[in-house]
Amino acid sequence: MYRQISRILLCILVLVSTLNIAEAGGIRKRKIRRLFKHSAIFNDHFTGFALYDLDENKSLLEINADKYYTPASNTKLFTFYTSLKILGDSIPALKYQLMGDSLLFWGTGDPSFLHPDLKGTKALHFLQQSGKQLYFCNGLYQNEILGSGWAWDDYNDYYQAEINELPLYGNLVEIRKGNGKLIQSAPDFFAHLLKADSSLRTNSFTVRRNLTDNTLMYPVSASPTENYHQYVPFQTSTALTIALLQDTLKLNVCSLHLPLPADAHTIYDLNADTVYRHMLQPSDNFIAEQLLLSCSSVKFGYLNSDSVRNYSLSHFLNDLPDKPEWHDGSGLSRLNLFTPRDLIALLLKIRAEINNDERLFSLLPAGGVSGTLKRVYQTDNGKPFVFAKTGSLSNNYNQSGYLITRKGKHLAFSLMNNNFVEPSRTVRDEIVKLMTYIHDNF
């Protein structure tokens, strides 16, 4: 009996020792849980966390990971994956058909056409050099100019540009301090709409567009600084698209309302990765929304972001742990709801689709190096170890992405924070502290 008890005790000791060795050599979940438990920041609001070992293909830790959160710009990861599945190596810029001495063309939602950062010009040159009478065929876009669940009073802010089938200049007017005049616009087409307004009382110079038209009001009581620079969304319409095209191309452009023929040709513009990088790193909402329209154009021949989101959910994302509430491409909508474990599943799909970490990590913000994480993390001897999408709205801040530990482990993580009242910087810094700890110790 004594020997039998001794053997049992020995087995228990060996088992405990083995578990301790495994825990010491891997991710110490209890330590991470303790960090959460004793964090004054994470415990004063709604926090969810999921951590996944990409090398071992297993979940490491989940804390409220099955609860729904407002994802903000983490939504762009859904748009990114959908675009990877539907779009090819390049973004379609225009659909067109030649009819005698006429060139008929349709928009595809391409965000790059004369975009201030992307500067897509292939469609522009194609139209300029056609030698044909140009006809813009409108009517393929089937949604509203702003997304569902967006804040109406953000209409004047650069991050909430309107959505349409043939965007030009990012659907933004750029305003700077003028050379020899107070301010100037780009394109210059909007210069005549800049109006002084003596009723605007402010100590800082800013331009505000009228809610219902493109009149751009600026205060008399303040002057622009030397480095003043502002982007203001303009109100889109078919008439304005025609006018901007004529002003830019220096050619006559007419409008028609015709269905897209099945044999229409396609002009492609920028490399897709270039567009994805400009969406993900600075978290460009306009590009995200327009990419969904490009996907819809490729898949259906019309432009409807609802259709392409539903298609993606039913064909590409139907095996996620929790059914997402996905309502726009950018994350501006407060109607979006995802769980951290959904984000982990999505990150696994994205990595499998690209199948090249170097390429994948070059597209995402890199901690201490690029995008929205450039000034957030410290690098490890000059090398970033976090590659993740941030997501922020008032009272919400999230990070979801990939982490490489000092010991070379590859992890995926999603840390979502909703309904806090302290500054976002405070929550962000707590995330950085946790992810840096995981990097340093595992």
Full DSSP string of 46-99? EEEEEEEETTTTEEEEEESTTS-B--GGGGHHHHHHHHHHH--SEEEEEEEEEE
Q: Is residue 89 part of a domain?
A: no
392-397 contact pairs (CB < 8 A, 24+) = 392/72, 392/73, 392/424, 393/70, 393/72, 393/331, 393/332, 393/334, 395/419, 395/420, 395/421, 396/69, 396/70, 396/72, 396/420, 397/72, 397/424, 397/427, 397/428, 397/431
Concatenate the DSSP letters of all residues of 217-262 into one string.
EEESS----TT-EEEEEPPP-HHHHHHHHHHHH-S-EEEE--PPPT
On whether both 298 and 391 belong to a single domain, the answer is yes
Q: Which residue has the tokens 């008439």?
A: 239
- Residue 118 is classified by DSSP as T
Residue 77 resides in a domain: yes
Indicate whether 371 belongs to any domain.
Answer: yes
Structure tokens at 260: 């897209």
Give a yes or no: residue 212 inside a domain: yes
Q: Among 212, 231, 250, identify where a domain stops.
A: 231
Give 67-113 pLDDT, tens digit per residue.
999 999 999 999 999 999 999 999 999 999 999 999 999 999 999 99
Edge-to-edge strand list for the sheet holding 208-209: 194-197, 216-219, 208-209
Q: What are phi and psi of 393, to 5 degrees?
A: -135, 170
| Phi, psi angle pair for 52, to nearest 5° | -135, 135
For position 25, what pLDDT does the model report?
Answer: 45
Give the per-residue pLDDT at 6: 53
On whether both 410 and 314 belong to a single domain, the answer is yes
What is the extent of the structural domain holding 322?
28-81+293-441
pTM: 0.92
Nearest to 346 by CA among 76, 105, 111: 76
**Mean pLDDT of residues grouped by 10 in the chain (442 residues)?**
50 40 57 90 96 97 97 98 97 97 98 94 95 97 97 97 98 92 93 92 90 96 92 98 97 96 96 98 98 98 98 98 98 98 98 97 98 96 97 97 97 98 96 96 90
**Cα gap 253→103, rounded to integer Å:** 10
**Distance (Å, whole) CA 200 – CA 9:** 82
Same domain, 226 and 340: no
Q: Is the bond leading into 233 cis (omega within 30 degrees of zero)?
A: no
| Burial class of residue 345 (count of CB atoms within 10 Å of its CB; 0-12, 13-18, 19+) | buried
Dist CA 355 CA 136 (whole Å): 39
pLDDT at 221: 86
Residues 431 and 306 in one domain: yes
Beta carbons of 130 and 267 less than 8 angstroms apart? no
State whether 209 and 334 are in the same domain. Answer: no
Q: Is residue 220 part of a domain?
A: yes
- CA 15, 21, 27, 32 torsion: positive or negative? positive
Q: What is the pLDDT of residue 215?
A: 98
CA 200/CA 207 separation, integer angstroms = 10
Domain at 50, CATH number: 3.40.710.10
Q: Does some domain include residue 365? A: yes
DSSP string of 290-303?
A: HHHHHHHHHHHSSB
Q: Which of 231, 261, 276 is the last residue of a domain?
A: 231
Is 320 part of any domain? yes
| Counted domains in the chain | 2
Q: Is residue 319 part of a domain?
A: yes
pLDDT of residue 238: 97
pLDDT at 7 (0 to 100): 55
CB 82 within 8 A of CB 316: yes
Rounded Cα distance between 76 and 331, Å, is: 7
Instruction: Let me know whether 183 and 72 are in one domain.
Output: no
